[in-house]
Amino acid sequence: MQPLQPPALGQALLSGNVTVHPGAVVACGAILRTDAHSQLIVEAGVCIGMGSVIHARNGNLILEAGASLGAGSLIFGHGKIGANACIGSLTTILNPDIAPEQIIPPGILMGDSSRGTGDMGSPAYQHIQSPAVQPQLPESNGTPSLELSAPQVEQERPIIVGQAYVNRLRMSLFPHTAQLEAPIDES
């Protein structure tokens, strides 16, 4: 088998035993590939986002009709993505077993049990909750009013190597914005 070459601008790359239905949409920069003794089947109405990589390995990988894969998604192994399922962008799925019409949020990893993400039937991500907002009732002039106060979080400025140089360069390129901004810290 020849080494995989990057796709030309505006094209997708298909390598190996790949079958794409004429009614499917494969965006530019996508890579669809199979290993020996494996097959990738893309059915009608499937939409594969830009820069996605779908790699069939150790068996058949089937993208059923109407499935949608977001940009930059990685699907690797064998299994299926059910009809009309929606896979979020930048999601990685190993040996998929996605039910029809299932929605997978963007930017997660599924199917890698070595990282403690669980099996394909359980969510492989955690919801991040926002800080609790506590209502406070101030006592002023006899009429209670409801005010919300969020917890105060101290924010540190990140240390950026070369920040002073970038600021000087920005001021020389865009001097008209100097009056709109706070003074530049040259430390």
175-to-120, 162, 167 alpha-carbon distances in Å: 55, 19, 11
Q: What is the distance between the alpha carbons of residues 83 and 150, in angstroms, rounded to a whole number?
A: 43
| Residue 86 confidence (pLDDT) | 93
Q: How many CB atoms lie within 10 A of CB 185?
A: 9
User: What is the domain-level CATH number for residue 37?
Assistant: 2.160.10.10
Sign (positive or negative) of CA dihedral 115, 118, 124, 130: negative
Q: What is the pLDDT of residues 75-114, one digit of tens each?
A: 999 999 999 999 999 999 999 999 999 999 998 888 876 6
Long-range contacts for 85-92 (Cβ within 8 Å, ≥24 apart)? 89/49
Confidence label for 57 from pLDDT (cuts 50, 70 and 90): very high
| 41-58 mean pLDDT | 93
Instruction: Please work out, in degrees rounded to the nearest 5, the angle formed at the alpha carbon of residue 101 by the alpha carbons of 65 and 25.
Output: 35
Confidence label for 187 from pLDDT (cuts 50, 70 and 90): low
Domain with 36, as residue range(s), is: 13-115
Confidence label for 28 from pLDDT (cuts 50, 70 and 90): confident
User: Considering the domain boundaries, does residue 167 fall inside one?
Assistant: no
With 50 as the cut, is the pLDDT of residue 16 above it? yes
Query: How is the chain split among helix, strand and coil, in percent rounded to 5?
Result: 10, 30, 60
User: Considering the domain boundaries, does residue 50 fall inside one?
Assistant: yes
User: Considering the domain boundaries, does residue 55 fall inside one?
Assistant: yes
Q: What is the pLDDT of residues 169-181, one digit of tens each?
A: 677 776 766 655 5
The two three-digit tokens of residue 32, written as one number: 């669809």
For the chain, what is the domain count?
Answer: 1
Q: What is the pLDDT of residues 106-157, one digit of tens each?
A: 988 888 766 554 444 444 443 333 344 444 445 555 555 555 555 555 556 5
